[in-house]
Structure formats: structure tokens, C-alpha cells
Amino acid sequence: MTDSPAGIWATLYYAVNVGWVAIYVALVRGHYRAARVLAALVIIPDLVALLQSRLTGFMPAPFGSWSFWVLLNVAPVLAMAAFHRDAPAVVRWPWQLALPAGYLLLYVPVLTLQATGNTAWLPDTAGLCCALVALACLARTPLIRLRRNAGSGVWSLTLVLLAADVGAYRLASLSHYAHDPHLITVSLAELLILLIAVALVVPDAARAQAATPAPLPYPRLTAA
């Protein structure tokens, strides 16, 4: 382990990634408060790196831009406000299976491209996110039609929200390629694929939202 600034930032970056895995597992297990506290902590190193880049002009290599921090760090933390003590329990095994499946779909192709030297085919972070969510939507579509599992709309609603967040990040990242029309075209193609894929699950997500029971009204106070 190196003590150089670059080595310390890289180590911290990997520790943050491990922290997000722990947060996901905590949410699946129903430990909402612990997940929120840990999430609030793991977004701090990214913020420190961004503030350092503003003050010194040096941005630690593993960390991203402000749009990355807001959309892929702060947004999930805010979304956790939907998880509360009285929230209905989720079926754990599909969500636990989704974690290794996501890593398998993401890192195996990435490592393969790196090993074969075809890094030019490797999408950026926003492109990888678009591809991952699009694949998840496509995998969801046949299950929606077969209705093999009850409450599938929860998955569809989750994918729609993820697609909205990832799509916003893809749009925000276009400013990095202002002088490269080819990369802008590729980025827009990734966004179009994402939109087509998420459109397949939107009807099921809408049904899930409509089926959500309305909160109980507050009792009215009457004059004595």
C-alpha cells in the first residue's frame, strides 16, 4: 500500500465502493437507519475531493464531477427517505441476487475489453450505467408479461426511477464531449437505448404506483 496522495485517494475510492455494497445489503435486510447513516458518511470523500479540486485545481483521478456526486451519490441518499420503520418488508432473495448479477453484467465485459486491449470500446461511467439499467429493463419485460411474481410493479418502478437518474447523468456528462461530435453521438445513442428499454416497464410501474394505498387523512378538529 502506497502512502502517496494518489494512492490514498484510490484506496479511499475503493473503500467508498465497498461502503455502497454494505448500504445495499443493509437496505435489503431492513436496516434502514443504519443504511442512511452509512450513506451519509460515504458521500463525504467525494465531496472533499470536489472541494479540493476547486481550491487547488487538482482532481483525484478516481472521483467524478459535481453531476456524478449529485446524481449518483446525493440522489440515492435522498431516496432512502422512502424507507422507514413501517415500510413493508421486501422479498430478499431477488434483491440479493440482483447485486452479484449486476456486477457480473458490468465487470466481466469491462475486464474482457481491458484484457483484450479493446479499451476504445469501453463506455464511460454514464454509458455503463445506461447499459446496465437498460439490460435490467429488458430482463424485467418477459417477467411482467408472464406475471410470475406478485408485486412485480415494485421492480418496474425502481427501474424507472433509476433510469431517470442515470439519464440525467448521461445528459449532464455531454458537456465533457463538447468538442467531440462522435462521442456526443455515442452518448445520445446510449440514452436512446435506455429510453426504449425503460418504456417497456413504464406501464407496469404506473400500475404499481396506482395500486399504492393512499395515506390515511389526518383527523379533522371540530369546535367544541
Residue 5, domain member (yes or no): yes
Q: How far apart are CA 167 and CA 134, in angstroms?
A: 11
Residue 220, domain member (yes or no): no
The DSSP 8-state label assigned to residue 29 in this structure reads T
Counted domains in the chain: 2
Say what percent of the chain tops pLDDT 90.
Answer: 30
Domain with 37, as residue range(s), is 1-89
Q: pLDDT digit string (tens) for 69-89?
A: 999 899 989 888 766 666 666
Residue 143, domain member (yes or no): yes
Q: How far apart are CA 144 and CA 123, in angstroms?
A: 29
What are φ and ψ of residue 59, in 5° steps? -110, 120
Q: How far apart are CA 160 and CA 155, in angstroms?
A: 9
Q: Which of 81, 80, 78, 20 is nearest to 45 (CA)?
A: 20
Q: How far apart are CA 155 and CA 159, in angstroms?
A: 6
Is the whole-model pTM more than 0.85?
Answer: no
Q: How many Cβ atoms are within 10 Å of 180's Cβ, its own excluded?
A: 11
Residue 85, domain member (yes or no): yes
Higher pLDDT, 109 or 195: 195
Query: What does the angle CA 65 – CA 34 – CA 16 come to, to the nearest 5 degrees?
Result: 30
Q: pLDDT digit string (tens) for 10-49?
A: 888 889 989 999 999 998 888 888 999 999 999 999 998 8
Residue 26, domain member (yes or no): yes
Q: pLDDT digit string (tens) for 158-184?
A: 899 999 999 999 999 998 888 989 889
Task: Tell me what the mean pLDDT of segment 91-118 comes to.
Answer: 81
Are residues 149 and 193 part of one domain? yes
Q: How far apart are CA 47 and CA 11, in angstroms?
A: 16
Residue 203, domain member (yes or no): yes
Q: How far apart are CA 34 and CA 22, in angstroms?
A: 10
Are residues 143 and 74 part of one domain? no
Asked whether the beta carbons of 168 and 70 are under 8 A apart, the reply is: no
Residue 94, domain member (yes or no): no
Choose one of 89, 112, 145: the last residue of a domain. Answer: 89
